[in-house]
Amino acid sequence: MHRFSMVTIVTLAVLMLPALALGQIAAPGMQMVPIKNVSLDQALAGVRWQGRVPSPASIGDKTPVVMVYASWCPKCNVWSPELFAQIHEMIRNEPVVLFAINADETSRGVSYALERNLVGPNIFHGDDPSIVQRMGFQSELFMYSTFEDGIQTGRRSAGSFYPKDDGTKEYSIVRDMKSGMGGSFSILTPEMSPRMREILWPAEIGAKLDERSLISLRKKMDESLADEFNSTVTNYLNRQIEKIKTSREGTIPEQIAGYELAEMVATDFKSTPQGRACRDLVDKLDENEAFQDELTAKKLYDQGQQKANSPVTLKRMMGRVVSRYSDTHYGQEAQKAISAVQ
């Protein structure tokens, strides 16, 4: 994953807070005392949210970013609207989900960010002063962390910036987003109108997208937007069909993922041509005894991996898979797991 080339920007120490509040970059080589990285679940535990927020699981492979801020610093209040404006402009086109947390102990709530237009379908607001310590920040002044595979990857200053040739500046959190945090879209595409992107962003992060929800969404659209919406949904379903077709030539895990995707399309879009095609495939695979063995073996294997709390338990649960499905892919994986703990 690409990151900007300078040494990771971090909050220096309490005595250096004014410098960071002005947006200056930390000196190379200055490092925080190492602190254990936390999971996204741990980081967000205890936050008081405004409205509903997506669960870490529903974000998919999009990059979560947690940013904390406070309202007590007068110098920060001068440049924070510019910071928020850059984030607002950048994030709507990137596979990033931002959790903006007010960590001020004296001024609770999220009005500070909302009044400065830090809004968007993939921006979620809450407040929690305890998050600063939980995430290992040394200040509540505009710090942020990205997460990879659900684990915090570092601690940086969102107020630090890069001077540009035209005399303006680009804030570090914005450059981080622009340089590619990883992740992808399953529904949104570059050619979508801004309005369509805003409508479909919730579906990218867990909101239900099926025929019933499509009808509800369509009712609120004028004819032009409805035409774009219909075309967008058709293209999305066609992409799912292509993924399913490709999966049939792949490994057993890829085939199973394709089967599960086909089940979803067949259930959620059953009256569409794509839904009917997926139903035919699912019915065919349901009658395939060898494939059903692979599905059952995977289920037992996953259960064993999740529930085993000791090497002895793991061996016993993996043994169940091997004894019944030794010739399947997950039967072989279970045997590897048993050998690894002997």
User: Is 39 inside any structural domain?
Assistant: yes
Q: What is the DSSP string of 44-59?
A: HTT-EESS----GGGG
Nearest to 259 by CA among 242, 249, 244: 244
Apex CA 19: angle with CA 14 and CA 24, to 5°?
135
Cα distance between residue 292 and residue 55, in whole Å: 31
Same domain, 147 and 240: no
Q: How many domains does the chain have?
A: 3
Cα distance between residue 104 and residue 109, in whole Å: 9
Domain boundary among 287, 311, 329: 287
Domain boundary among 287, 310, 327: 287
User: Is 174 inside any structural domain?
Assistant: yes
Same domain, 24 and 152: yes
Domain boundary among 160, 178, 196: 178
Q: CATH code at 95?
A: 3.40.30.10
User: Is 42 inside any structural domain?
Assistant: yes
Same domain, 302 and 281: no
Identify each DSSP E strand in the chain by its residue range: 48-49, 63-69, 96-102, 123-127, 143-148, 151-152, 156-157, 161-163, 169-171
Same domain, 127 and 229: no
Same domain, 106 and 229: no
User: Is 191 inside any structural domain?
Assistant: no
Same domain, 158 and 213: no
> How distant, in Å, are the alpha carbons of 36, 128, 154 from that of 42?
12, 13, 15
User: Is 4 inside any structural domain?
Assistant: no
User: Is 245 inside any structural domain?
Assistant: yes
Q: How many CA atoms lie within 13 A of 304 on its CB side?
A: 25
Same domain, 217 and 107: no
- Tell me if residue 152 falls in helix, strand or coil: strand
User: Is 249 inside any structural domain?
Assistant: yes
Same domain, 74 and 124: yes
Same domain, 332 and 223: no
pLDDT, position 178: 80
> What are the mean pLDDT values of the chain's consecutive 10-residue runs (342 residues total)?
34 33 39 72 94 87 93 94 94 91 93 94 95 94 92 91 89 84 85 91 90 90 93 95 97 97 96 96 97 97 92 94 96 95 76
Same domain, 99 and 153: yes
Name the token pair of 80: 């924070």
Q: Write out the residue range of the structural domain in which residue 227 sits.
A: 208-287
Same domain, 108 and 172: yes
User: Is 196 inside any structural domain?
Assistant: no
Phi then psi dihedrals of residue 84, to 5 deg: -65, -40
Same domain, 305 and 237: no
Name the token pair of 120: 């968007």
